[in-house]
Amino acid sequence: ATGYITQTYTITIPTEGVVVQDVALELAQPRLQGLPEALTIPTIPGIVFSHTFVITNGGPLPLAYEWYEIPPALHQRHSPYDLNGKIIMYDRAHGESDLYDYSTLAADINAAGGIITENFAYPITANSLANMDVLWVDCCGYMDWTFAELQAISDWMEAGGAVLVHSSQSGTAYQVAGIYNVLYDCCSYSSGTTTNIAPHPTTIGVEAIHLEYSYAFLTITEAAVVTVYDTNDIPQAVAQEQNGGKMVVIDSSVFSNYSIGQADNAVFALNVFTWLAEPAYGEVPWITASPPSGMIAGHQAQEMTLVIDSNDLALGTYEAVLALEHDDPAQLSPVTFPVTLEVGEQFAAVSLIPAADSGNGQPGELVTYTLEVRNMGNGPDTFAIAVSGTWSATPSIVSTGELLPNQSEAFTVVVQIPITAENTPSETTVTVSSQFDPNITQTATLTTTAFVVGPPYALYLPVVLKP
Instruction: Give residue-wise pLDDT tens across range 61-94.
Output: 999 999 999 988 765 655 568 899 999 999 999 9
Has residue 245 got a pLDDT over 90? yes
The CATH number fitting domain 87-277, selected from 3.40.50.880, 3.30.70.2390, 3.90.1520.10, 3.40.47.10? 3.40.50.880
pLDDT digits (tens, 9 = 90+) for 131-143: 999 999 998 888 9
- Beta carbons of 34 and 331 less than 8 angstroms apart: no
Strand order in the sheet with 39-43: 39-43, 335-343, 316-326, 63-70, 293-296
Q: Where are the domains of the chain?
A: 32-72+282-343, 87-277, 350-450
Q: Cβ distance 276 to 75 under 8 Å?
A: no
24-55 pLDDT, tens digit each? 778 899 999 999 999 999 999 999 999 999 99
pLDDT score for 306: 96
What pLDDT shows up at residue 454?
66
Element (DSSP H or E) covering residue 104: helix 103-111
CA–CA distance, 42 with 375 (Å, rounded to integer):
12
* pLDDT for the residue numbered 160: 92
Cis bond upstream, residue 42 (ω within 30): no
- C-alpha to C-alpha distance for 106 and 269, rounded to whole angstroms: 10
Instruction: Please determine, for residue 184, whether its predicted confidence score (pLDDT) is greater than 60.
Output: yes
Span 264-317, pLDDT tens digits: 999 999 999 999 999 888 899 999 999 999 999 999 999 999 999 999 999 999
pLDDT higher than threshold 90 for residue 246 = yes
Q: What is the DSSP letter of 454?
A: P
Task: Please count the CA atoms within 13 angstroms of the CA of 344 that sit on its side-chain side.
Answer: 12
Q: Centre a 10 Å sphere on the Cβ of residue 434 and count the other Cβ atoms it contains.
A: 21
pLDDT band of residue 247 (cuts 50, 70, 90) is very high
Query: Does the structure show a pLDDT above 80 at 380?
Result: yes
For residue 458, pLDDT over 70 is answered with: no
Sign of torsion over alpha carbons 100, 112, 194, 230: positive
pLDDT value, residue 411 = 98
Which residues, including other chains, have CB under 8 Å from residue 148's CB and lie 6 or more apart? Answer: 123, 125
CA 98 to CA 378: how far, in whole Å?
60
Q: Say whether pLDDT at 21 is over 80.
A: no
pLDDT at 461 over 70: no
Distances (CA, A) of 297 to 33, 57, 65, 199, 338: 13, 7, 11, 39, 26
Please tell me the class of the 32-72+282-343 domain.
Answer: mainly beta
**Domain 350-450, architecture per CATH:** Sandwich (2.60)
In this chain, the answer to whether the domains covering 32-72+282-343 and 350-450 adopt an identical fold is yes
Phi and psi, residue 251, nearest 5°: -80, -40
Backbone angles phi and psi of 48, in degrees to 5:
-125, 125
DSSP strands (E only) in 142-268: 162-166, 183-194, 209-219, 224-229, 235-242, 245-250
Percentage of the chain beyond pLDDT 90 is 74
Output the pTM of the full model: 0.74
CA distance 381 to 434: 7
What is residue 140's predicted lDDT score, i.e. its pLDDT? 81
pLDDT averaged over every residue in the chain: 91
- Amino acid 106 reads A
Return the bridge partners of 115, or none: 87
CA 156 to chain centre: 23
Give CA 337 to chain center in angstroms.
Answer: 5
Whether residue 238 is predicted with pLDDT greater than 60 in this model: the reply is: yes
Region 88-108 average pLDDT: 94
Query: Is the per-residue pLDDT at 165 higher than 70?
Result: yes
Mean pLDDT, rounded, for 414-438: 96
* 1 pLDDT more than 60: no
Across residues 314-343, what is the average pLDDT?
93
239 and 223 in contact (C-beta within 8 Å)?
Answer: no
Side-chain-side CA neighbours of 104 within 13 Å: the count stands at 13
Q: Are 388 and 416 in contact (CB under 8 A)?
A: no
